Amino acid sequence: MNLILLDRDGVLNRVLVDPEHGTIDSPLHPDQVELYPWVPEALLRLNRLGYGLAIVSNQPSAAKKKTTLANLEAVHAKVLQLAEARGAKILSSHICYHRAEDGCACRKPKAGLLEEALKRHGADRAGSWMVGDGVTDVQAGAAAGVQTAYFGPKKCDSRKILDELGLEPRFWGQNLLEFTEFLSSKGTMTMANPSDSFSAKFLNESISIIQKLDVSAIEALAQGLAQVRERQGRLFILGVGGSAGHASHAVNDFRKICAIEAYAPTDNVSELTARTNDEGWDTTFSEWLKVSHLGPKDALLIFSVGGGNREKNVSVNLVKSVELAKQVGAGVYGIVGKDGGYTAQSANACVVIPPLYSDRITPHTEGLCAVVWHLLVSHPALAAKATKWESVERK
C-alpha cells in the first residue's frame, strides 16, 4: 500500500490565529473546528487513486495546560467526521500529545508517528508521502524515507530553513486540493498508477536507503582500511553467493586503486570446492585463512546480507572466519544487511544497509554494498591511483 501521511492542522482544518498576539494554535474545543472546504473531496479523490490515508499530528495543548485531553480527542473526532463526509476513508490516526521538551520519540520532526503508521499498514515507503505545512513535517518525512509535500508560499522563512537543512519537498503547493491534482494529472512515479514502473519504485527505495546510511560508519571503515595498508597488512574479502562476485571485483579495486594487498578465498574455485567436499562448508574460509597465516596486521572485509548467524545456521563459514580473526588479533570490517549478524556484533567498523523494504532486502543490500565499496576505493584516505577514465579526461 502507498500511504498519504497527513498533518492535520493547516492541512485538513484551519488553525486558530490570534491577531493581537500573532500566535497560531490548534483548535482547543470541537466548536473551533473548521475544515477547509476542499478537503472532503480531495481525500475521496486520493482514495480513488489507490492511496491509504492516515493522520500524523503533534497535539501538545493538553500537556501545556491550554485545554483538556478530552477536548483534544473531541476535536480530532470532529475533524474525522467532517473529513470523511464525502465518503473518504481515513485508515488511522497517530497523535503525539507530548511537548517538545518531553523528549519523546513520536513527536515530529522525529519519525515515530510516521513509522507507526507505515508499519501498521505495511506501506511502501517509496510510494508514500508525508504531507504538511511545517518544516517539521518535511523533516519527519525525510527521516522516515517517504516523499514529502509542503503547503505554503515558496518565498518564506520555511524555504530558508529547509535550504539550510538540505531538504527539498517533492511537491510544494498551497493546499491538499493542489496536491491531489498533482498526483492525478502529472504523475509522481508512485503506485497511484501501477504501470508507473517497478524501476522507478526500486530506484526510489534505493534513494531512501542511501539517505539513512550511517555516514560515520562508512568513514570509520575507510580509516580502518587505511590503517591496514599503513601497517602493510593484507585484506581478505569474504562473501558468499552474489557477495562472492562482489569480493572478487573489490579485490581488484583495493589492489589496483588503493594499493592494498587483497585476496578473496572464493577466487580459487579448486581449493574452495576441495575444502567443501573434504572438510565441510562451514570451515572453507577459516581453514583457507589459517594456511594464509592470518595475523594481527591483516583484516577481513565481509560482504553479506545477513552477516553470519550460527544459531540460524546461516553463513557459518563467515562466523568461523570472524572468530579466527578475533583470536589472532586481525581487524574485522563489514558491509552487511538486516541486523548485521555476527559481523556487525564483532567488527571494528561495519556499515549496515538499512532493511527498509522487507521484500527486497537482498537486492538492495548487495546493490548498495557495491556503492559503498566504490565509495571506499574513491575515498581520499584510501585512493592511491586515479582510475582510467578520470585520468584520460584530465589529459
Catalytic residues: 7, 9
Question: Between helices 135-144 and 112-120, what is the axis angle to 10°?
Answer: 50
One-letter-per-residue 3-state SS of 8-58: CECCCECCEEECCCCEEECCCCHHHCCECCCHHHHHHHHHHCCCEEEEEEE
Nearest to 148 by CA among 185, 108, 120: 108
Q: Is residue 266 a contact partner of residue 287, using CB atoms and an 8 Å limit?
A: no
Amino acid letter, 11: V
Cα–Cα distances (Å) from 74 to 96, 158, 194, 326, in that order, read: 15, 31, 38, 60
The burial of 60, by beta-carbon neighbours within 10 Å (0-12 exposed, 13-18 middle, 19 or more buried), is given as: middle
CA distance 230 to 383: 13
Cell of 318: 563467515
